[in-house]
A and B are shown apart, each in its own frame.
Chain A
Amino acid sequence: MTAAAFNVLFSHWRYRPLQLVTLIMGVALATGLWSGVQAINAEARASYSRAASILEQADLSQLIARDGEGIPTSVYARLRRAGWQVSPVIEGNHRFGTTSVRLIGIDILTMPEEGRGFAVSGSPDLVAFASGQGQLLVSMNTAARLQGVTQIPLRISPDLPDDAAFLDIGMADRLLARNGVLSRLIVAPQNPGLPALESVAPELVFKSGGQANDVASLTDSFHLNLTAFGFLAFVVGLFIVYSATGLSFEQRRSTFRTLRSVGVSLQSLTLMLLAELLMLALLSGVLGVALGYVLASTLLPGVSATLRGLYGTSVPGSLSLRPEWWATGLGMAFFGTAVSASQSLLRLWQMPILASAQHRAWAMASNAATFIQAVGGAVLLGAAILLALLGHGLVAGFAVLGSLLIGAALLLPLALSTTTMIAQSLSRGAFTSWFWADTRQQLPGLSLALMALLLALSANIGVGTMVSSFRQTFLGWLDQRLAAELYVTARTEEEASRLRDWLPGRVRSVLPVWNSEGEVLGQQIQIFGVADDATYRDHWPILLGAPDLWDMLATKDAALINEQLWRGSDVGLGKMITLPGGWEARVVGVYSDYGNPKGQVIIGLGSLIAHYPATAKLRYGLRVEPERVDMLRRQLVDDFGLPDENIVDQASLKRQSRVVFEQTFAVTGALNLLTLAVAGFAMFSSMLTLSGQRLPQLAPLWAMGLRRRDLALLEVIRTVALWFATFLAAVPVGLLLAWVLLAIVNVEAFGWRLPMTVFPFDWLKLGAVALVAALLSVLVPVRRLATVNPADLLRVFANER
């Protein structure tokens, strides 16, 4: 008997295959977007935690200089004599032609196995690495980039991240011109009974292995961002599933009654329906995970570009399939199905065996539901405002986003039904008045899809506004920061000093770009020295500061700090800041420094040379008349003898930055579009199911003299009107969303605040896309209606219904 009953239940899907497709697609899309995003996150995290542990040898304990500067060889020798098992490392960035590579110079003989970055299989390996020409140990990609720009033999190690190389410490010392100053010391597991560090080398501090690295915490914000998007897409997908299951239950009401009246118990009916849902969830979950895999592998190159652009971390552009995605993906599919079916199951339990389908009662219930939803929405919006005012931290920022979006979505049906009510009361003709009344009656069936649409559209507007604001600010900032026409890098200090003699007379001014690194306020940061030049006075993007700050910088112990350092600490204008080497400078200004995850300090060039005499003096910005740029470049190559790749002109630098930037947001753009597509699909499926129930409502109008194509046209107008109303509602929600992203989430995530710029033209474009999607979503149902067989309309009037 169970088999027979199950067969009856399941025959519904054979009868309505499109509904089945909708349901499966809904779960699959939701799961796909979710698991795709999770896959990207997991892959990226895994790869840079691997990178960090290799490059920073973060699993090993280390000694670093207390003042953030290098460690003299004498200190190293003292430690070894005292019995400490330490191994020296010299580390820094080096340019091979135009490719910048992070060099990690190690002493292969004393370095513990885990710190070597590759497996040493025997003495030939050791000899090749440490003697003669030496060797650069690099990843496949880095090797490809270095091909032909260096004489040093390359050896490929699959474990290494891109843009980094392990090499012998002696060679690193030469390439980086460190004169024996070490970056850090790796500490091997120690024998007990050693003299304490404080007594041997008080200038060093001990850093134990396995500590979280700062890259992970920075990129967390990016992943949170992606996860939020994945979750949004999942919610939109749930709307589809919810309406599809609801409909399949609604349409099978009479079947349920019949089954129960022939003796199938409520329990076994419920079990059968659960089994059905489980099967569907399994099927669509598997599809969804596969979809997610495709999505992730398509988007991953964009994500790695984003991570490289924003944080300078590198992630391989390929994906491996992990079992945990299958698990979480299927889990989400089951969860989603369960959530969206629970209300229908609950209704089944409350449904009496007899009593015919009470349409009006159902409509009244849905009126009440609209109101309750709206109250919930208002509460959520209130919560969003409170959180925005009182909350702190990234999580609070995302909570504001979430409650804003869902609150607005919940308020939408009431807003739309009020609008149609007003439109009806304003309309003159019987016909327009009917049109609005009828539209209001369709709302309960469409509101889920429209809510999904609102979410997708406002996410689009919000994120679009954020990206455009970012773009505009960033490009403006680039113009300010890249004020010099040419940037040159000398290969050696000797060449640099020749260059300093050669340039005067040929250029308007020479701006040294010299920097040192060290620890300030517990962060490892860069310290730049700037010349006293009008270029900075005219262009540098100052946020706060005294009017005479450039004079103070040139003559006194004064410093500018970037916005990140300013927001992340309690150092304010006029306070003293302790810089590496123990000297103090007064903070005279704050400047914006977009895209930089770390703090930065600017001091006068004189102070830089006085306090950090070892600073490399290789890079210069050159101010020349724009029309002389090409000639100067030629002279630098031909007359002076600088390789062309050591000269970068401002225009191409800007172009490169712009490319990095565009790639950075390509992923967001793709996710945005996908979310919109899912919402469009939700609308399509709702329109299709509604159109099936429309005939009884439209047949009397046909009988009173409206043509089928008039009715079809009305459906189109109605759909477009609803989309348009939703779009109008999405604009303010989207702008609020953008504001939250720029003023709350961005500050918490990156440490800087972006000015918001509004781009109404982008909305028009989005509106046009939405309009096309609206027309597409209504195309099939309307074609059906326009060509419906009159016999189907007549059946409505047939006495036996």
Chain B
Amino acid sequence: MILELRNVGKSYSTAEGPITVLKAIDLRLARGKSVALTGESGSGKSTLLHLAGGLDKPDTGSVRVNGRDIGQLDDSGRARYRRLEVGLVFQQFNLIPSITVAANISFHARLAERYDPNWEAELVEMLGVAHLLGRYPEQLSGGQQQRVAIGRTLAARPTLILADEPTGNLDEATGDSVLDLMLALSRRANLALLLATHSVRLANKLDEKVVLRGGMISQ
């Protein structure tokens, strides 16, 4: 099992008192599988991905990745985990504006010391961004930016990809093609993919679909 969430709970303290977003989440994700995490806006999808990505800690329960409880890691341990094991794709793309597309794609791989020019060339080819390598992120369209973000994530050869509404800022046709690419590539690299979306149509393209409602997972 790549990702295994057991009885995970998370609440936020706000001005109006604490709100519980996740009550008791149980979720398992195997290598080579893709799971769509659906649910209404505000249901806690992003929160769940942040916990799985080691960006935040759960209040209760355990988040295991490759058998290790990442909730128990300290700040440096979680940084290392993010660097080496997980890839994150966001709705806002979150590319680094000050460096070129080429540098963006190889950036995470170099940080993880897994830079492989052949793999990167293959990715660039499949993503269709070869003609964009010398440009800066601001000069790209949304769809192009998200392709670059996917390339950046995959180039680092993570075992798990967490994608939070990756097509949310794209029009339907572009979104579809970006998602198809992502699925094809993660199958090709034999990765586990957890993708949050509120679109049932997109969710149906994945191997499995779970719904987040009332802080619980239902099939």
Contacts and interface: CB of A to CB of B under 8 A. Distances in A.
Do A and B interact with each other, yes or no?
A: yes
Interface of A: 359-360, 363, 429-431, 433-434, 437-438, 440-441, 697, 699-708, 710, 790-791, 793-794, 796-799, 801
Contact of B96 (A440, A701, A791, A799): A701
B83 A705 contact: yes
B50 to A, nearest CB: 6
Contacts of B168: 799
A708 B75 contact: yes
A798 B94 contact: no
A703 B55 contact: yes
A705 B81 contact: yes
A92 B165 CA distance: 95
Given A431-B110, A440-B98, A701-B96, A799 B165 contact: yes
B68 to A, nearest CB: 15
Contact of A703 (B53, B84, B103, B112): B53
B97 interface: yes
Interface string B90-133: 11101111110001001111111001000000000000000000
B32 to A, nearest CB: 24
A707 B75 contact: yes
Nearest to B137: A360
Interface residues of B, number: 38
5 contacts: A433-B99, A433-B103, A434-B99, A705-B80, A796-B92
Contacts of B75: 707-708
B96 A434 contact: yes
A703 B158 CA distance: 13
B95 A700 contact: yes
A796 B92 CA distance: 9
B76 interface: yes
Interface in B123-170: 136, 138-139, 164-165, 168
B187 interface: no
Tell me which of A429, A441, A797, A801 has the highest count of chain B C-beta atoms within 10 A of its own C-beta. A797
B91 A799 contact: yes
Tell me which of A441, A707, A794 has the highest count of chain B C-beta atoms within 10 A of its own C-beta. A707
Given A704-B111, A705-B84, A794-B50, 16 more contacts: A359-B138, A360-B136, A360-B139, A430-B103, A434-B107, A437-B98, A437-B99, A697-B96, A703-B55, A704-B83, A704-B107, A705-B79, A793-B55, A794-B56, A797-B50, A797-B55
Given A703-B88, A799-B165, A434 B103 contact: yes
Nearest to B136: A360
Contacts of A702: 55, 79
A799 B46 contact: yes
A431 B55 CA distance: 21
Main secondary structure of the interface of A (DSSP, over half): helix
B164 A441 contact: no
Nearest to A429: B110
Given A797-B46, A797-B90, A703 B98 contact: no
A793 B83 CA distance: 16
B6 interface: no
Given A440-B98, A441-B97, A801 B92 contact: yes
B98 A441 contact: yes
A796 B91 CA distance: 11
A702 B81 CA distance: 12
Contacts of A797: 46, 50, 55, 88, 90-92, 94, 164
A736 B49 CA distance: 60
A437 B103 CA distance: 11
A181 B94 CA distance: 94
Contacts of A430: 103, 106-107, 109-111, 115
B56 A790 contact: yes
Nearest to A359: B138
A697 B97 contact: yes
B64 interface: no
A437 B107 CA distance: 13
Given A430-B106, A434-B107, A797-B164, A699 B81 contact: no
B23 interface: no
Nearest to B82: A705
A797 B88 CA distance: 10
B99 A699 contact: no
Nearest to A438: B98
Contacts of B109: 430
A790 B78 CA distance: 12
A791 B139 CA distance: 30
B46 A798 contact: yes
Contacts of B108: 704-705
A703 B165 contact: no
Contacts of A700: 94-96
Interface string B21-35: 000000000000000
The 8 closest A-B pairs by CB, nearest first: A705-B83, A430-B110, A360-B138, A705-B82, A437-B98, A441-B98, A700-B94, A707-B79
A701 B104 CA distance: 11
Given A359-B138, A430-B110, A799-B165, A707 B76 contact: yes
Nearest to B47: A794
Nearest to B84: A705
B170 to A, nearest CB: 13
A433 B104 CA distance: 11
Contacts of A793: 55
A794 B82 contact: no
Contact of A705 (B46, B94, B112, B138): B112
Contacts of A801: 92
Contacts of A701: 96
A697 B97 CA distance: 8
Contacts of B53: 703
